[in-house]
Amino acid sequence: MRILFVGDIVGDAGRKVAIDKLSYLKDNYAYDISIANIENLAGGFGITKETYDA
């Protein structure tokens, strides 16, 4: 099993990079599961429904 672990994703810029790069990584590294630290997804203020759904 191949696991992709992503460190802290912070704010709008972090979300954009994650969205842009995850499909590339999946295609090129064929991981089975991804795990990410998203506690700062809403710009350092935790996680909101809107940021989670994005």
Range of 10's domain? 3-53
pLDDT at 30: 87
pLDDT in tens, the chain (54 residues): 999 999 999 998 998 998 899 889 888 998 899 999 998 888 878 888 988 887
By residue count, the chain amounts to 54
pLDDT at 44: 79
Residue 45 DSSP label? S
Give the number of other CB atoms < 10 A from CB of residue 51.
19
Please count the structural domains in the chain: 1
Tell me the pTM: 0.69
Interior CA angle at 37 toward 4 and 7, to 5°? 60
